[in-house]
């Protein structure tokens, strides 16, 4: 355990613990029932809800009627809750839903703890210690294009979310570097022997020397080199770090891994190839081609084996477009049949394919430039930046700022906008690439979130308050309704990250941060000045001002932490 206070668990987890105990008391014979806790859709009813009564009723009815229906079960669940300072009150709604209202005092205390101990002590606990995230993964002889944008951005964000949740993440760039080398050999072969007069004996006999010569050519070909380098530059610009372990790395492992699968009786002969038949699939997974060569699938089987057995990863996550779903389904099924992975998908170690949709142009078709070439990633980033720069100049910033400041801001906003526009969509939907929309300062955009963040920072700066001092004072109070809403939202950060991690959905986190900015704006508008009338009756103007200054600065610091997490997650 790292130094500092122990992880407290999310609000949801803490409430679940209380209801778990109540369930044991209420229905001692139903030990396999887990508490079903959800946050309330309608805040009118409460903050959280326990939804077990209906399900329990269908289980226990007929078995000696201790309860007369779901409602009495709900009543009993409520009555049997162990006493807890986190709960203010409970009510029953409909067929036995137990609505929970959290104690304002407890919430305030928890926010203060969050402020003092840091938001890191609120990271969710995930069931794995080490994960591989296989993302970006272009083919190195080709330019990175917009299709790799999604893999890179979504993969990087998932890796960050897992890292925040204290999972050790091995970030892997599974570059296509293997087919390339063969392509290079063939290319060189044609160049050397254009009329095909080379005999196979000659070629094979000289293969090593031949490889070296073609490699030299490859290395000295500036066009090739530039393309490979540009791919790397794109990653750096996006602030993405990952380790290259390309296809060729797993080459030496393929024969041994195929032998393991063969021993389990998984590999069969079919039309001259060696294949694995997968139930429910029309075509088998080819692992050795007719010519005896290995392919994409044999490499992925070897890589999966290596990641599980050599790297001891408990969760292996792959990011590619949804088009490769079938491939991964087959690879994972083979691994389950070989006993490398449990058959039950809810158990770990686990392999997950994170598929994503296409990037579309304004015309609703696959995103291309006018000349129908694929769009290069570097060009997109350049354009986002230059548009932002232009907007800043139009606002007169060229006179106020140095060129460097102008550039840095344009980069933060421009690249951030490109990233956020991608992340905020559910990843499986196709998304339309639109500079005007993503660079707008209104609506759910990075620009709006950055604006909210900048505003909070400036409020802190102008207040002249020292956050360290405020930590010592330790009085957060949640008086105004908008303040309570903001407080609850802050406290829900860990369960949102958890949900986003478990389901591998960055858009869940984006939505949270967008709502956080909105909640903050509402709070700030309504509570900032004595015109927050509900409160004026309680305090003199002076008190109100002093108190509120303290309070919202505490909040702001939290918000800043959460916003900082946003920056961290999306690298804006
Ligand atoms: N290089 C592949 C492509 O661009 C993606 C590789 C994904 N990772 C994997 N382990 N297959 O299509």
DSSP 315-339: EEEEEEEGGGHHHHHHHHHHHHHTT
320: Cβ below 6 Å to ligand 1?
Answer: yes
pLDDT at 74: 97
Please tell me the distance between residue 448's alpha carbon and the centre of ligand 1 in angstroms: 34
Is the CATH number 3.40.50.10800 carried by domain 11-102?
no
172: Cβ below 6 Å to ligand 1?
Answer: no
pLDDT at 213: 67
ipTM over 0.95: yes
Beta carbons of 282 and 274 less than 8 angstroms apart:
no
298: Cβ below 6 Å to ligand 1?
Answer: no
333: Cβ below 6 Å to ligand 1?
Answer: no
For the chain (572 residues), the mean pLDDT of every run of 10, in chain order, is: 56 95 94 94 94 95 84 97 97 96 91 75 87 89 71 91 92 80 58 58 53 69 53 63 89 97 97 96 95 93 98 97 95 98 96 94 78 69 91 88 87 86 92 90 83 68 66 72 86 90 93 85 68 30 35 45 46 41
155: Cβ below 6 Å to ligand 1?
Answer: no
**Token pair belonging to 168:** 């050790």
Beta carbons of 115 and 471 less than 8 angstroms apart:
yes
pLDDT at 336: 98
| Pairing relationship of beta strands 48-50 and 37-39 according to DSSP bridges | antiparallel
| Closest C-alpha to ligand 1, atom 8 | 174
**Token pair belonging to 413:** 């906003």
487: Cβ below 6 Å to ligand 1?
Answer: no
Residue 355 to residue 353: CA distance in whole angstroms? 6
Regarding pTM above 0.90, the answer is no
174: Cβ below 6 Å to ligand 1?
Answer: yes
| Closest C-alpha to ligand 1, atom 11 | 300
pLDDT at 185: 57
Residue 526 to residue 518: CA distance in whole angstroms? 12
Please tell me the distance between residue 466's alpha carbon and the centre of ligand 1 in angstroms: 49
137: Cβ below 6 Å to ligand 1?
Answer: yes
pLDDT at 191: 64
Nearest alpha-carbon partner for 443 in 432, 431, 451: 451
318: Cβ below 6 Å to ligand 1?
Answer: yes
First CA to last CA distance, the chain:
30
Please tell me the distance between residue 150's alpha carbon and the centre of ligand 1 in angstroms: 13
561: Cβ below 6 Å to ligand 1?
Answer: no
Cβ-Cβ contacts under 8 Å for 219 (sequence gap 6 or more) = 225
* Every domain of the chain and the residues it spans: 11-102
| Closest C-alpha to ligand 1, atom 4 | 138
pLDDT at 532: 36
Please tell me the distance between residue 136's alpha carbon and the centre of ligand 1 in angstroms: 8
Q: Which of 137, 302, 325 has most ligand 1 atoms within 8 Å of CB, for mutation?
A: 137
Q: Which atom of ligand 1 is nearest to the CA of 139?
A: 1
Backbone angles phi, psi at 298, to 5 degrees: -65, -35
| Pairing relationship of beta strands 87-93 and 315-321 according to DSSP bridges | unpaired
């Amino acid at each position: 355990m790292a130094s500092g206070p122990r992880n407290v668990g999310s609000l949801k987890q803490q409430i679940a613990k209380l209801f778990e105990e109540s369930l044991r008391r209420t229905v001692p014979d139903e030990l396999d029932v887990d508490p079903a806790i959800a946050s309330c859709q309608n805040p009118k009813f409460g903050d959280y809800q326990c939804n077990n009564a209906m399900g329990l009723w269908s289980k226990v009815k007929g078995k000696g009627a201790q309860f007369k229906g779901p409602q009495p079960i709900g009543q009993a669940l409520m009555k049997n809750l162990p006493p807890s300072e986190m709960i203010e009150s409970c009510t029953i709604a409909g067929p036995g839903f137990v609505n929970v209202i959290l104690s304002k005092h407890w919430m305030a205390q928890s926010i203060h703890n969050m402020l003092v101990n840091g938001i890191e002590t609120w990271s969710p606990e995930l069931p794995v210690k080490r994960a591989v995230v296989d993302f970006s993964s272009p083919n190195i002889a080709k330019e990175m294009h917009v299709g790799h944008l999604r893999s890179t951005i979504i993969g990087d964000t998932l890796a960050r979310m897992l890292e925040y949740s204290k999972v050790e993440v091995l970030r892997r760039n599974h570059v296509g570097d293997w087919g390339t080398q063969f392509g290079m050999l063939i290319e060189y072969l044609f160049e050397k022997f254009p009329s095909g007069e080379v005999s196979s004996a000659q070629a094979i006999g000289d293969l090593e020397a031949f490889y070296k010569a073609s490699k030299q050519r490859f290395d000295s070909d500036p066009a090739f080199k530039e393309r490979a380098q540009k791919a790397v530059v794109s990653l750096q610009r996006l602030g993405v770090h990952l380790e290259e372990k390309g296809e060729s790395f797993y080459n030496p492992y393929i024969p041994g891994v195929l032998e393991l699968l063969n021993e389990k009786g998984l590999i069969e002969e079919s039309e001259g190839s060696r294949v694995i038949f997968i139930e429910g699939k029309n075509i088998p997974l080819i692992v050795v081609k007719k010519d005896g060569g290995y392919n994409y699938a044999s490499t992925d089987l070897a890589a999966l084996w290596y990641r599980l057995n050599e790297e001891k990863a408990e969760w292996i996550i792959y990011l590619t477009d949804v088009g490769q779903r079938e491939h991964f389904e087959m690879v994972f099924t083979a691994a389950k049949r070989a006993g490398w992975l449990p058959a039950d998908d809810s158990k770990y170690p686990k392999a997950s394919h994170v598929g994503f949709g296409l990037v579309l142009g304004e015309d609703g078709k696959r995103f291309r430039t006018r000349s129908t070439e694929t769009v290069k990633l570097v060009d997109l980033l350049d354009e986002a930046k230059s548009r932002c720069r232009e907007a800043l100049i139009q606002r007169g910033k060229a006179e106020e700022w140095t060129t460097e400041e102008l550039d840095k801001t344009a980069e933060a906003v421009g690249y951030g906008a490109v990233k956020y526009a991608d992340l905020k969509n559910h990843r499986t939907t196709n998304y339309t690439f639109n500079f005007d929309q993503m660079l707008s300062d209104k609506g759910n955009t990075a620009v709006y979130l950055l604006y909210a963040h900048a505003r909070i920072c400036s409020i802190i700066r102008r207040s002249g308050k020292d956050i360290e001092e405020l930590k010592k004072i330790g009085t957060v109070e949640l008086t105004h309704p908008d303040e309570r809403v903001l407080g609850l939202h802050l406290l829900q950060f860990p369960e949102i990250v958890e949900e986003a991690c478990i389901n591998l959905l960055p858009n869940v986190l984006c939505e949270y941060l967008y709502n956080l900015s909105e909640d903050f704006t509402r709070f700030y508008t309504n509570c900032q000045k004595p015109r927050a009338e509900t409160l004026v009756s309680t305090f003199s103007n002076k008190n109100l001002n002093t108190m509120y200054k303290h309070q919202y600065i505490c909040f702001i610091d939290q918000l800043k932490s959460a916003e900082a997490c946003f920056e961290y997650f999306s690298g804006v």
